[in-house]
Amino acid sequence: MTQKILPLLFVLIAAFFLYTYKLSFIPNGLYVDEAVTGYNAYSILKTGSDEYGKSYPFAFRFFGSYSPPLYTYLSISFIYFLDLNIFSIRISSALLGVLSVGLIYIFLKNLDLIKNKKVIPLICVVLFMITPWNFFYSRIGYEIYLGAFLFFLSTLLIYLGFKKRIFLTLGIIVLSLSTYGAHTEIYLAPLFFIFLLIFFWKDIIKGRRYLIWGVVLGSVIQIPHLLILNTQAFINKNSLFYINDILIHTADLQKILPYPIALLLSFLREFLARFMTYFSPYSLFFSPDSDPQRSLPGLSVFYFWMVVPYLIGFYFLLKKIFTQNGKYIFLLAVLSATAPALTGDPFSTQRALPLLFPLFLICCLGIDYIYQKFNRNIFLVFCVFLFIISLVLLWRSYFVLFSSERAKVWGYGNQQLSNFITSNPSESFLIDQSRLKPLYIILAFYQQIDPKIIQFAADTRVRQDYYNNSSFNDEYQFKNINIKRLNFYEDIYKEVILIGDEFSISKDQAEEHFLTPVLEIKDPVGSIIFRGFKTNPLKKCQATNNYSPYCK
Amino acid sequence: MTNFKSLLIILFLIFSNFWIYKIFRNNFLIGLIIVTLSILLVSVKSFKYKRIIILGLFLSSLFFQYQTTKINNFSTLTADQIRIQEVRFKQYPAEILGINFPLGYWFEMKHESYIIPGISKNLYENLDINQYFFGGHPRQRVEVEEFEKFPYSFIPLFILGLLVIFSKKKLALKLLFLSSPLVLIALIGNKNLLGPFSLFPMFIFIIWQGFSVLCNLKKRKWIISLFIILSFLVSVQQFIYGGII
């Protein structure tokens, strides 16, 4: 028994080390989604209400996105013990990442399609541990990984439930719970459950009692969702559907084809093109997500060489598609790609995160197949070689390039700005919000501002109709900080420090308005993030003979 | 299926797509070569010199692929690539565990560090199924003129065809026909007005193999009719998007 568990334990310890190594520093900065999650958790901990003063919400409004609440509530415990900081926000995802490694092992151990259950699960978990897709999202501090993790856990439990019925009940409960994990699962979980009943009815109905218990308890878990069903909070992400693209193409086709056929063909093309992208080797092994915040430089979601086991695994899966195992993984893969394929982004690795697990299992099928066909010693040597290559690529991409090149998009510099403001308590600060991500929440996070102050500064209309008011105002005023769009006509006549990005205040403007540079924050590759200038209203008024009404 | 029906289906598969139209419009000779090669690959009839003719036509298609492609120059970097190279070079630690490793030089400055990604890019672009069925949509490439090559209704047949081909034992020749254009294009690049047309005959062969699976199904008449109607409509759609209709 010890011999069986020891290697897995070793992998889990290695995963823990890898996922928590420099967790506070890489990603380099604090992304605004992390800040809003962390601060709202902090606010709940301190006051029992979120930043808008809403007591224990079912969906967190944040910037109007109405994020599923589980991750925020989960973070409260870490904030309680570790205080509000970057580590305490990211650690939940990191721990779930480690647990996912264990889940993959259990799945592979129980997957009948895997021939060698002794070696392959272990090789695969080592590979899973350093897979860029898992590694990247295990180290970020907002809800996306929790949703995918719960969904995967539920699919594992349901799969185990085919043999041991009690797991079916647990699986349905966790599936229901996953809808509070992240937005994707709100759509994916019911879709999966419906198709599960259609395609595995014969397997499931044998454990009728457990199914009924699962459905009853799963439905109870859905009560909070039912309470906000008719609000913007629940249907918030429907706007991501590419209806305009479809209508534009339909208009083109209507020259020749009747409207219903034109509409159907337009939808089919748009949907299938996006759907296939999630299985394309080009996307999975070469070209990363086009969003720089959600991708690594020079690496896609899997390593380039994994295309070989992937293609072999897919071939093997399609050959076994009529077996229970084959059908289950295929269904999991198809449905996990369906939800993100209904949104406009061409290849959103964040929304498609649940797809990581079935695609990785497919790669494992390929690895198992290769293992059967080749000399085992050569295979193992080759595995070690590829592992080292992959680890080096991950180190280069994540710890060297990502931490420097992507620092700006990850909110690097905000902490320095916060420190500068804190070290000048007698000054007033006016920050140009024009091109920045909502800065109020990042400063509130770093300065651990009393949640009551932020609740007081927030738009009071939000509280009146919390779940139906998604419009967001990023202009805030609290303590000595005023965050708004810069208005030169007025703001240069105030005794303040003006802060903006590299485009906010030009050199000519600074000279014209007698602004004195007091701050410059650069990212690790030398791009300017913030510039600060102290105004001189007296000199400006004198130079313009008190022309401005603000001089009087 | 009768020979006549088979011929009609083969002609439908070959000529119902936007790609062959574009090839014929730009270079009639290339069109002729790949249509003949496609027909010879799917036809079961054997005759004297068939293999030699197939090989000759295949090599000709590779030659024309090479001739009509604007060859990638991997050894020269653009000003922006040089800027990125220099910025990245500075990010590497000078030493690891007290030992001096020129990692920045190995990863960013050596010729191999930009030649290998260049070749990989070309290779993976040609493994992108969206390039063939959706004109690269929704991830269109910047420097390449994208167009939809086959109707997307052919995708299930393409996947079925691949399954059929790889289930058979004599794989070497098919792998050669599939891999050699991929290797060639990986080396010379994708800047070709007609796309990777040397893969066209193999695509037709694979789709035909998938189609033969349909022919063995119980309700084949309905399924085949549905497939042809849908493919016709999708072809019309692609011709409209291509600005032909």
Q: In chain B, pLDDT over 90 holds for what percent of residues?
A: 68
User: Is B24 touching A (CB cutoff 8 A)?
Assistant: no
Mean pLDDT of A398-407: 96
How many Å lie between the alpha carbon of B7 and the closest alpha carbon of chain A? Answer: 28
Q: Chain A partners of B162 at a C-beta cutoff of 8 Å? A: 315
Q: Chain B partners of A286 at a C-beta cutoff of 8 Å? A: 120-121, 124-125
How many Å lie between the alpha carbon of B29 and the closest alpha carbon of chain A? Answer: 31
Is residue B1 predicted with pLDDT exceeding 70?
no
Q: Chain B partners of A266 at a C-beta cutoff of 8 Å? A: 237
**Which candidate from B93, B130, B240 shows the least CB-CB separation from A280?**
B130
Q: Chain A partners of B245 at a C-beta cutoff of 8 Å? A: 255-256
* Angle at which helices A324-341 and A183-199 cross, to 10°: 150
Determine which of A244, A282, A391 to mutate to test the interface with B (most B C-beta atoms within 10 Å). Answer: A282
User: Is B159 touching A (CB cutoff 8 A)?
Assistant: yes
**Which candidate from A249, A274, A404 shows the least CB-CB separation from B138?**
A274
* Residue range B25-41, pLDDT digits in tens: 999 999 999 999 999 99
* Residue range A374-390, pLDDT digits in tens: 888 999 999 999 999 99
Q: Do A285 and B124 touch (CB under 8 A)?
A: yes
**Which candidate from A273, A315, A525 shows the least CB-CB separation from B130?**
A273
* Residue range A30-89, pLDDT digits in tens: 999 999 999 999 999 999 999 999 999 999 999 999 999 999 999 999 999 999 999 999
Spell out the SS3 assignment of A151-162: HHHHHHHHHHHC
Q: What is the pLDDT of residue B231?
A: 94
User: Is A386 touching B (CB cutoff 8 A)?
Assistant: no
Q: Do B159 and A318 touch (CB under 8 A)?
A: yes
> Minimal Cα distance from A250: which residue of B?
B237
How many Å lie between the alpha carbon of A332 and the closest alpha carbon of chain B? Answer: 19
The shares of helix, strand and coil residues in chain A, as percent rounded to the nearest 5, are: 65, 5, 30
User: Is A82 touching B (CB cutoff 8 A)?
Assistant: no
Q: Return the H-helix or E-strand segment holding B88.
A: helix B79-89
User: Is A524 touching B (CB cutoff 8 A)?
Assistant: yes
Is residue A517 predicted with pLDDT exceeding 70?
yes
Give residue A389's identity as a one-letter amino acid code: I
Query: Which tokens belong to B212?
Result: 């033969």
* Nearest Cα residue to A329 out of A101, A108, A100, A106: A108
pLDDT class for B2, splitting at 50, 70, 90? low
Query: Which tokens belong to A550?
Result: 């603000």
CA angle B209, B215, B218 (to 5 degrees): 140
* Residue range B14-29, pLDDT digits in tens: 999 999 999 999 999 9
> Minimal Cα distance from A341: which residue of B?
B138
Q: What is the pLDDT of residue A1?
A: 63
Q: Cα–Cα distance between A143 and A351 in angstroms, integer? A: 11
How many Å lie between the alpha carbon of A320 and the closest alpha carbon of chain B? Answer: 11
pLDDT class for B206, splitting at 50, 70, 90? very high
Q: Do B139 and A347 touch (CB under 8 A)?
A: yes
pTM for the full predicted model? 0.95
Q: In chain A, pLDDT over 70 holds for what percent of residues?
A: 100
Q: Cα–Cα distance between A433 and A417 in angstroms, integer? A: 14
> Minimal Cα distance from B86: which residue of A?
A525
Q: Do B124 and A282 touch (CB under 8 A)?
A: yes
Q: Chain B partners of A276 at a C-beta cutoff of 8 Å? A: 129-130, 133-134, 155
Q: Do B120 and A405 touch (CB under 8 A)?
A: no
Q: Considering just the CA atoms, what is the radius of gyration of chain B in Å?
A: 22
Q: In chain A, pLDDT over 90 holds for what percent of residues?
A: 91
Residues B196/B185, Cβ–Cβ less than 8 Å: yes
Query: Cα A421 from chain centroid?
Result: 30
How many Å lie between the alpha carbon of B112 and the closest alpha carbon of chain A? Answer: 15
Which residues of chain A from 303 to 342 reach within 8 Å of chain B, CB to CB? 304, 307, 315, 318-319
How many Å lie between the alpha carbon of A290 and the closest alpha carbon of chain B? Answer: 9
How many Å lie between the alpha carbon of A189 and the closest alpha carbon of chain B? Answer: 26
DSSP string, A170-232: HHHHHHHHHTTT-HHHHHHHHHHHHHHHHHSHHHHHTTHHHHHHHHHHHHHHTHHHHHTTTSH
pLDDT class for B97, splitting at 50, 70, 90? confident
User: Is B243 touching A (CB cutoff 8 A)?
Assistant: no
* Residue range A437-485, pLDDT digits in tens: 999 999 999 999 999 999 999 988 888 899 999 889 999 999 999 999 9
Average pLDDT of chain A is: 95
Is residue B44 predicted with pLDDT exceeding 90?
no
Determine which of B96, B129, B148, B227 to mutate to test the interface with A (most A C-beta atoms within 10 Å). Answer: B129
Residues A253/A265, Cβ–Cβ less than 8 Å: yes
Cα–Cα separations (whole angstroms), residue B112 to B96, B106, B108: 22, 9, 9
**DSSP H helical segments within A342-423, as ranges?**
356-373, 376-394, 403-405, 414-422
Determine which of A240, A267, A276 to mutate to test the interface with B (most B C-beta atoms within 10 Å). Answer: A276
User: Is A28 touching B (CB cutoff 8 A)?
Assistant: no
Q: Do B129 and A304 touch (CB under 8 A)?
A: no
Mean pLDDT of A282-292: 95
User: Is B117 touching A (CB cutoff 8 A)?
Assistant: yes
User: Is B241 touching A (CB cutoff 8 A)?
Assistant: yes
> Minimal Cα distance from A271: which residue of B?
B138
**Which candidate from B155, B159, B236 shows the least CB-CB separation from A257?**
B236
Q: Chain B partners of A274 at a C-beta cutoff of 8 Å? A: 138
Mapping DSSP to helix (H, G, I), strand (E, B) and coil, where does residue A372 land? helix
Determine which of A242, A250, A269 to mutate to test the interface with B (most B C-beta atoms within 10 Å). Answer: A269
How many interface pairs between A and B have CB atoms less than 8 angstroms apart?
A: 101
* Residue range A241-274, pLDDT digits in tens: 899 999 999 999 998 899 999 999 999 999 999 9
* Residue range A318-376, pLDDT digits in tens: 999 999 999 999 999 999 999 999 998 999 999 999 999 999 999 999 999 999 988 88
How many Å lie between the alpha carbon of A387 and the closest alpha carbon of chain B? Answer: 18
Q: Chain A partners of B137 at a C-beta cutoff of 8 Å? A: 269, 273
Mean pLDDT of A14-29: 97
* Residue range B111-159, pLDDT digits in tens: 888 899 999 999 999 999 999 999 999 999 888 889 999 999 999 999 9
Q: Do B124 and A286 touch (CB under 8 A)?
A: yes
Q: Chain B partners of A525 at a C-beta cutoff of 8 Å? A: 87, 90-91
**CA dihedral for B187, B190, B193, B199, sign (positive or negative):** positive
